[in-house]
Structure formats: structure tokens, C-alpha cells
A and B are shown apart, each in its own frame.
Chain A
Amino acid sequence: MPDVIEVHQLIKDFGRVRALDGLDLTVREGEVHGFLGPNGAGKSTTLRILLGLLRKDAGEVRLLGGDPWSEAVELHRRLAYVPGDVTLWPSLSGGEVIDLLGRLRGGTDAKRRDELIERFALDPRKKARTYSKGNRQKVALIAALASEVELLLLDEPTSGLDPLMEAVFREVIAEERRAGRTVLLSSHILAEVEALCDRVSIIRDGRTVETGTLAQLRHLKRISVTAELDTVPDDGLPHVHDLRLDGGRVRFQADTDHIGDVLARLARYGVRDITAQPPTLEDLFMRHYR
């Protein structure tokens, strides 16, 4: 089974600015893939190249087994997209936009459409010009989720949604995953990615810096430890990072490979209390951007 999205050494320049600088991305069938990076890292540019809206300058891009630039129309039948900044037609109502987009993709499941409108609490009769950012996003989300496609490309889909709607969004994506749909979810909301995604790719300055399942990433990385000691370790600790001393309290990150050594060493100072946590996605993320 070929991967749904295969991007290798992708390069894209805008004039003299290099937006993507050898980006790699692989999305497997049926997974929810988190696409993480700060603003301006190149997430939207990558998605637009995958949609054939922009043209790559170099590298390889395959989407659903095809070339996103030359086979855009055929591929678009099999995917749905929610842009990060949703612009609608001001004079059309939300319901009209949803139906129009559905018909363009070859028909929507009317029951599913109505169910989603209800779950996302959207008034489909309002003109698009009167919708807030969050409501415009809901329109695009409902249109995408109601269409029977294999792949969903979502560019920061919850950035304008309230927490209630964010919860609905998570539920719906979880259902989609169970139904076997592939989702590429670009985001910088780490909790959302942690809750939803099977695998993640972290990008920075147009390049992929990490990719894998959360478990893999955590395994390779560090554990954060907080401990209260009887004596202060004046001479430092081996294999630890970001060591901070606060009276008898120490906080640090330890390499997972050396965690045994570190604990043995720590025992010498008399441990009164200790907590060790696997790194959160936030820790992983911050490490690349600090």
C-alpha cells in the first residue's frame, strides 16, 4: 500500500525568500498525522503545494499516488481541504456554500450534512459576510467532513473555534479516524495534536526536524525530573540538561539512555521526593525552537 502523501526534499521559493528548504513528509493511509510548526514555518505553503495551488521548485511530491500539480482535478475529487484563513462568498449563505462545495465534489450525504450543522451549532441561513472567523471555519469544516473523501487536509482548523466547538472537532476527527479516513492536521495547538494524532512531523524554517509516532519521539528524547534532595549537588550531574537548582529542589531533563545512571547518582544526595515525567509534546516542540 503506497503512502497517501509522500514529500521528499521539497523546495519552494517566493522571490528571494526560501519558504520550504528540503521538507520531508510521509502520511500513511488511515492515520491522523500532526503537522506541527510555528507561524511561518511553511505549513500552509506545503498544503498549498499538495493541492496544486502553488508549484514546487524542486523535490518530489506525491499525493494519493498522483502528481498534485498536473492531476489536480482528479485528486481533488478524493480530498477535502479547510484553509487556515477561510474566505467565503459574502453574499452566499453558509448552507449554500456547504451545498455548493459538496456538489462540486460530486454530492454530499444530506443526513451527515445536517447532523454536522447541528453538532457544530451553525446557523446555515446567515450570509457569509456576517459570519465570524470561527463560523466561517465551521462552514469549511462541515463542507469537508460531509463529503465522502479519502483524505482531509486541515490547516489549523480550530484556530477560531471556541473550546466547546474544539471538543466537537476532536470527537468528529476521532470518528473519522475510526472510519479509516486519512487526515493531515496542521496545527500549533499541541494538546490537540497530542490528543488526536498517530504520528507527527515537526517542521522549522521549511525543513522537517522530527517525525514519528509520539511514543517514538518520546523514547528518543528526555525525561523531565523534579526531585527534592538532602544535599545540593554542587558538582553538577552527568547526562542531564537544563539543570535548575532551587534550594534543595532540582529540576532537569535526563537522556532516556542514561536515566539509570542519573538516578543512581541522585541517590547519593538523599532523595526525599521525586517525580519523573515523559516529555510532553510541548517539551519536544520547544526544544527545537528555543
Chain B
Amino acid sequence: MNTPALIRLILRRDRVWQPLWLLLVALFVTTTVATIRQLLPTPEARLHYVNEIAANPVILLMQGPAYGDSLGAAAAQQRGAATMIFAALASVILLVKHTRSDEEQGRRELVGSAAVGRHAPLTAALAVVLGANVVLAVLITVVGVSAGLPLAGSLAWGLMAASGGWAGAALAAVAVQVTQSARVAGAAAFTVFFGAYLVRGVSDVGGPGMEWLGWLMPSGWILRAHAFGGEQWWVFLLVTAFVAALIGVAYALSARRDIAAGLLPPRLGPAHAPNGLRGPLGLAWRMHRGMALGWIAGAGFIGAAVGLGGQTAIETFARSGALDFWAERTGTGDPTEIFFRLVVYKLAMYSVSLYAIMTVLRLRGEEATELFLSNPVSRTRWVVSHLVLAVAVPAAVLVIAGLALGLGDGDFAGGLAITTILLPGVWAMAGIAVAAFGLFRRAGAIVGWTALVLAIAVEVGWEVGLVSDSFFMVSPFAHVHYSTLASPGPGTLLGLTLVAAGFTAVGLYGLRRRDLAL
């Protein structure tokens, strides 16, 4: 009943975000193909890449194996999994937004009191998100073909990304039935997806004997579509069956529960506040602690995987000359070291910056709670309480990751040196987010995220040779980079920290002068 009206409502509410994420993924595919074409221009270079680099355990774990030595196969190996994961993330966020978030905020009740069927909101959200992923598949196919890749492979890549989105949406559809909190539902759905993806990675690292493990995981099926390498189309039937089954479960659960309730009964909390919940900092820690501990644990896990599984393998084949082109492009003499740093940098820099910005922008949500700022708490103290966590948790994440890296060869100091050097760059991004939040009343979040997207885009552009060295140096990332462009010494680190402090000061100044967005 009335599902079409709800679909129109969702499209209206998402008229910016839906096209934006689809275009970002398409752009990502385009730049990947261009990068690979530039870096691996000849069949020999690609064969070399596939046999040497793509066989590296870390690459296998994070990106999956290559299924051919064509341009398309190399590009799909490099970024195919990333498009799938990004599609899953976007789909989880959007599905949760239009189901559990609406319930949490009471909008669902308003809709439910109108002539709308019990399942209509879930159906509408699924229709939009699944539909968006179909559009994504078409977009990627078009982008691939227009870049000169074969149609079949491009379509397979498109379907891989869309399958990730479908699986994410289906997992989210179940998660939002189970828990009452939109935040928890989204985190759970994505963690299950990403966890399954890493298990698939273990199966790929483990070789043929472990292949069965990958077949237990939906993300394993998706990668085994063999894009550009003799496509196995039937894996998409498996994905479709999996998605259909999950959606069936979601509807069955949805039929059993009350609106705004979850399947898990709400637990009672304490009647009195614990001693730690005293002031702004105690409250900020309470708000952030779940995610902070999750990130620290994740950093330890991934760091240990890279440290134990990857380091020696990287060194062995780095010496084989496979990485000479990277060494040349990034201006270093020792390919071993540069490649290991590159792997760590790519894993840590973007994700920890993302965490820091997310932590700072949590202020936006808290701002609406007028109850808090009507207490004797200055705006500065309030911002600083969250900022402490945006500074300290990334530090903890990187220290744990660095120590875990050292598990492989016992060189803990070396591991720490590689990860902690990134910290001032992360702080600078957090500082920019504070400035955006303080200066802009409503657009703070968009400005903060745009800064991260720009920094990544400039870096990718520099790697391909589109962006000059001096322009890249504007980005905080350039100064803690894996390449020799950066020579992070005490001076750079101090400089970046001062930049972070400067942006923070600007943000605090702006916030003290503006109206709160209530």
C-alpha cells in the first residue's frame, strides 16, 4: 500500500546523496583504469604485476587475487573489491537511514498512521537502495566500456559492485529489525559484511587448500566472478539467492515486532550515573567509547595480519625487482621499505582520518541537544572534550597498529615509526573538520568530508602524475606520505600539529560567535 509515494519521499530526501555516491564510485573506476594504464602500460608489466605484486599476501587479503593479466583484470584486482565495499557501505547507511533512523526519530509512526502498509517503508527503502545499485552496475559498465575495456568484464565489475550493495542492504534490512539503535544496526551490518570479506581474504592467502572457506562467504562469491578473466556469471545467482533469503528473513522479523521496538528487548540501565560520568569529557567518552574500542581492536587485528603474514613476503618479492617502478615514481632507492610503508599508509591514513573527522563531526549531532549547553559548560570546553578523543583515539589506533605490525619480525620500534608518523596528518584533518564545524552552522559536515575527499583525490592525482609535487604539498597527507616527497622529521610533525591547532582555533573562534543550530 502506498509504497510508490514512500519511494518518492526517499528519492526526494536523498536527491543529493544518491547521485553523489554513485558518481563517486564511477569516478573511482575511471581513475583506476587511467592509473593502471599509465603505471602498467605493457602486457609484460602487467604480467609481472599479476605474478609478483598481486600474489603478495597483504594484497590478497585486502584486494583479492587477479584473474588475468589484461588491463581490465589488473584494474579490477586493484579496485574491484573497493567498489564493492564502498557500495555496501553506502547501501547500509541509506537503508538504515530510511528504516531504523525513521523509527528512532518517530517519523515512522507518522508514516505508519497514514494509509501505509506495515511493510511499505521497508519495501520502499529496499526498492530505492537495490535500484540504486542496479544504476551503479550500469554506470560502471558504461564507464568501463568507454575506457576501452571489454563489455563482459565491465559488466561483471558493475555487478560485483552492485552485489556488494545488495548484500549490504539485505544485511542492514535484517539488522534494523533486531536492534533499536540505528547506529548499532548500521555498524553491525557493515561489520558482518567487512568481517566476511576479511575471512574471504584469509581463504585467498591460504591458497587452494583454503578455497572452501571463501565459498562460505558471500564476498568470496562476488570476487570469484572473475571479472575480465573468463567471467563466472552464475556466482551472481548465488548472490541473488542470498539477498532474497535475507530479505525474506527481514520481512518475517518485521512482521513479528512492534514499530520502534527491536527483537532484542531493551535493557535497563543504571538508576544512578557512574562516577566517570561527571562532565563533558566523561559524556564524550561514553558517546564514543564503543566505536573507539572497535577501531582499536580492528587496528590490532589488521596490523597483526599485515605484520605476521605480509612483511617477509613483501621483502622477498620486493627484492625481485617487481617494485622498481614504484621505487622510481616515489623517488626511493629501496623498494622493500617503500612498499611496506605504502601498504601501511594506504590502510591507515584514509581510515584513521575518516575516524577522526567522524569523531569531530559528532559535535553536529550533539549541538541540537540544547539541554547540554544550557549547563555551565562553555562551548570551548564542550568542543575540546570531543577533540581530546579525536586526538587520542587515532593515536591509540596507530600505536596498536604499529605494535601489531612488529609481531612479524619483532621490530616493534620500526612498526611504531611507520604508523605514528601519520598521526600529525590525521590531526590536521581533524583540525580542518573543527574549523568547518565552527565556521558553518549547517554545512559543517559537508565541508569536513569534502576536505577528506579532496585530500585523497589530490593524492591519487599525484600518483598518476596529474598533480604536481608542489600542489600535492598543500595537502596534509603529502607531509607524512610513504614517498620521499615527504621527509617527516620533527619539524614537519611540529608544523602539522601547529596547523591542526591553528584550524582548531579558527573553529573555536567561529563557534563562539555563531548561533547554535538547534
B266-A83 in contact (CB<8A): no
Number of interface residues of B (CB under 8 A): 35
Task: Please pick, from B266, B280, B515, the residue contacting A54 in the complex, using a CB distance under 8 A.
Answer: B515
B272-A74 in contact (CB<8A): no
B368 interface hit (Cβ, 8 Å): yes
Q: Nearest Cβ in chain A — how far from B182, in angstroms?
A: 9
Alpha-carbon distance between A53 and B367 when the two chains are bound, in angstroms: 10
Stretch from B64-72, B139-147, B194-202, B372-380 that touches the partner? B372-380
A95-B516 in contact (CB<8A): no
Q: Which one of B271, B368, B518 has the highest number of Cβ atoms from chain A below 10 Å of its Cβ? A: B271
With contact pairs A92-B269, A103-B273, A129-B266 given, residues A74 and B376 touching in the complex (Cβ less than 8 Å): yes
**What does the 1/0 interface line of A127-165 toward B look like (CB < 8 Å)?**
101100000000010000000000001000000000000
Alpha-carbon distance between A98 and B273 when the two chains are bound, in angstroms: 8
**What does the 1/0 interface line of A46-74 toward B look like (CB < 8 Å)?**
00100101110000000000000000111
B378-A72 in contact (CB<8A): yes
B12 interface hit (Cβ, 8 Å): no
Task: Please pick, from A79, A91, A96, A101, the residue contacting B181 in the complex, using a CB distance under 8 A.
Answer: A91
Q: Which one of B180, B514, B515 has the highest number of Cβ atoms from chain A below 10 Å of its Cβ? A: B515
**8 A Cβ contacts from B249-270 to A:** 266-270
A1 interface hit (Cβ, 8 Å): no
**8 A Cβ contacts from B320-377 to A:** 368-371, 373-377
**What does the 1/0 interface line of B265-297 toward A look like (CB < 8 Å)?**
011111111100111101100110000000000
Task: Please pick, from B181, B271, B374, the residue contacting A95 in the complex, using a CB distance under 8 A.
Answer: B271
Alpha-carbon distance between A96 and B266 when the two chains are bound, in angstroms: 16
Q: Nearest Cβ in chain A — how far from B367, in angstroms?
A: 10
Task: Please pick, from A55, A81, A126, the residue contacting B371 in the complex, using a CB distance under 8 A.
Answer: A81
With contact pairs A73-B376, A90-B181 given, residues A53 and B370 touching in the complex (Cβ less than 8 Å): yes
Residues from chain B with Cβ under 8 Å of A51 in the complex: 370, 373-374
Q: Which one of B269, B373, B515 has the highest number of Cβ atoms from chain A below 10 Å of its Cβ? A: B269
With contact pairs A53-B370, A53-B515, A73-B378 given, residues A129 and B270 touching in the complex (Cβ less than 8 Å): no
Q: Nearest Cβ in chain B — how far from A69, in angstroms?
A: 10
Task: Please pick, from A87, A105, A125, the residue contacting B271 in the complex, using a CB distance under 8 A.
Answer: A125
For the A-B complex, the count of residue pairs with Cβ-Cβ distances under 8 Å equals: 115
A181 interface hit (Cβ, 8 Å): no
B377-A54 in contact (CB<8A): no
**What does the 1/0 interface line of A83-124 toward B look like (CB < 8 Å)?**
100111111110111111101111000000000000000001
Q: Output the nearest chain B residue to A110 by Cβ-Cβ distance.
A: B272
With contact pairs A72-B378, A101-B375, A127-B266 given, residues A53 and B273 touching in the complex (Cβ less than 8 Å): no
B371-A48 in contact (CB<8A): no
B518-A48 in contact (CB<8A): yes
Alpha-carbon distance between A97 and B375 when the two chains are bound, in angstroms: 13
Mostly, the B contact residues are loop
With contact pairs A53-B516, A72-B378, A77-B376 given, residues A48 and B273 touching in the complex (Cβ less than 8 Å): no
**8 A Cβ contacts from B370-400 to A:** 370-371, 373-378
B378-A99 in contact (CB<8A): no
Residues from chain A with Cβ under 8 Å of B518 in the complex: 48, 53-54
A126-B269 in contact (CB<8A): yes
A221 interface hit (Cβ, 8 Å): no
With contact pairs A55-B515, A73-B376, A76-B376 given, residues A95 and B371 touching in the complex (Cβ less than 8 Å): no
B104 interface hit (Cβ, 8 Å): yes
Q: Nearest Cβ in chain B — how far from A149, in angstroms?
A: 10
Mostly, the A contact residues are mixed
**What does the 1/0 interface line of A192-223 toward B look like (CB < 8 Å)?**
00000000000000000000000000000000
Residues from chain B with Cβ under 8 Å of A74 in the complex: 376
B273-A125 in contact (CB<8A): no
Residues from chain B with Cβ under 8 Å of A99 in the complex: 272-273, 277
Residues from chain A with Cβ under 8 Å of B513 in the complex: 55
List 10 additional contacts besides A73-B377, A81-B374, A124-B272; criterion CB under 8 Å. Answer: A53-B374, A54-B516, A55-B515, A89-B286, A89-B369, A91-B181, A91-B287, A101-B375, A126-B266, A126-B269
B residues with CB within 8 A of A: 104, 180-181, 266-274, 277-280, 282-283, 286-287, 368-371, 373-378, 513-516, 518
30 pairs, CB–CB < 8 Å, chain A vs chain B: A48-B516, A48-B518, A55-B514, A72-B378, A73-B376, A76-B375, A76-B376, A79-B374, A80-B374, A89-B286, A89-B369, A91-B286, A92-B269, A93-B269, A93-B270, A93-B271, A95-B272, A96-B270, A96-B273, A96-B277, A97-B273, A98-B273, A99-B277, A100-B283, A104-B280, A105-B376, A125-B270, A126-B268, A129-B104, A153-B374
